[in-house]
Amino acid sequence: MSRLSPDTMLSITLGSICSRTRYTSDPAPVVDELLATAGDRSEILKQSVGSWVGYYEDAYTITLCTALRELPGLEPWIALGVERRSQADHRTPTAHAGASWPQRSTR
């Protein structure tokens, strides 16, 4: 049994379909698969696919992303994906000298 909700599992599945087929030269079957997988859950489709397009759209994924942009209602989610992509990479903060552990002496 999964601890993730059915909505979360659907979102993961939709994102996985996009990622697995990102370099396709024929996006029609991908769009069909996404629509069939989402069924009547159009809000999750919009959120998952829109944020995926916003985050991953580049010269290599343009064929798929152009086709996905034809789906209605993705614009706010595309904007969210673009915003997430523009954030700096997460990094471990550098330690402040002596703030959280004593500095080692070099002998």
Mean pLDDT of the residues in the chain:
90
Is 41 inside a domain boundary?
yes
Domain extent, residue 24, equals 6-85
pLDDT for 99 equals 54
103 located within any domain: no
Name 27's Cβ contacts closer than 8 Å, sequence gap at least 6: 21, 63, 64, 66, 67, 68
Q: Is 95 a member of any domain?
A: no
Lowest mean pLDDT among 49-58, 73-82, 92-101: 92-101
Q: Is residue 104 part of a domain?
A: no
Query: For residues 104 and 43, which has the higher predicted lDDT (pLDDT)?
Result: 43
**pLDDT at residue number 104:** 59
| pLDDT for res 89 | 79
| Structural domains in the chain (count) | 1
* Residue 56 clears pLDDT 70, i.e. is over it: yes
